[in-house]
Amino acid sequence: MKKFVNSEEFKQKNKDYYRLEEDYDWIKVTDKIVGLESFFHKTRQRNFLRQLKSFLQKDQKVLDAGCGTGLFSRFLPDGSYGIDINPRNLAKARQHAPAINFMEADLEQLPFENDSFDLIIITEVIEHFPDPLKLLSELKRVLKTGGVILGTVPAKSFIWQLRFLSSTRPREPYHRYYSKKELNDLLKQFFEVDDLKQGNFFMTMSFVLKK
């Protein structure tokens, strides 16, 4: 199974799913649906925004990598950038955050010059890549020296076993839950890991990276 997951065929199938099929509206689930899933997203949003606000500075160039429907893009400064491979996500994101520059693109082939951004956010994205090395390499390429990346991934937690109860849960081909050691070992190949912790009822790993 592991060999198949790492195959180019599976990686392309996984990417095609997010480009052509996936239709999960983060903002709808977070803001409008009542239940455990909404509670989880509200809590994660509140915690991440608290951290994000402490890093935002005037005149920064900011990227939301894998922006989805704009859950966090809507809180970024006007003129920031949002990238997603899914055109349905971007159509909704443009409604939620009209002052953001949204672009359809592959995160493994970002349409930006080297050293373009002061701050990158990437929330609940890395876990969808069977092999995230190229993704992380691209993020490093477009991040300025001294720049910061803020992000989250799902943590290994028994609570995620209840995910099957969600009526809106997408049926993605690949979804990984990270331990602290696994995530640290991955991220330190490309960045200085400034902070890495598990929170949100032990369901989320959050990180701060520097180049």
Domain assignment of residue 141, given as a range: 2-210
Cα distance between residue 178 and residue 181, in whole Å: 8
Residue 62 belongs to what H/E stretch? strand 62-65
Q: How many domains does the chain have?
A: 1
pTM (predicted TM-score): 0.92
Q: How would you write the pLDDT of the chain (211 residues) with one tens digit per residue?
A: 455 677 899 999 999 999 999 998 889 888 876 677 777 788 889 999 999 999 999 999 999 999 999 999 999 999 999 999 999 999 999 999 999 999 999 999 999 999 999 999 999 999 999 999 999 999 999 999 999 999 999 998 755 555 544 544 557 888 899 999 999 999 999 999 999 999 876 789 999 999 9
Q: How far apart are the first and last CA of the chain?
A: 34
Q: Which amino acid is at 124?
A: E
DSSP annotation string for 99-120: TSEEEE--TTS-SS-TT-EEEE
- CA nearest neighbour of 177 among 153, 149, 206, 208: 153
The CATH number for 155's domain is 3.40.50.150
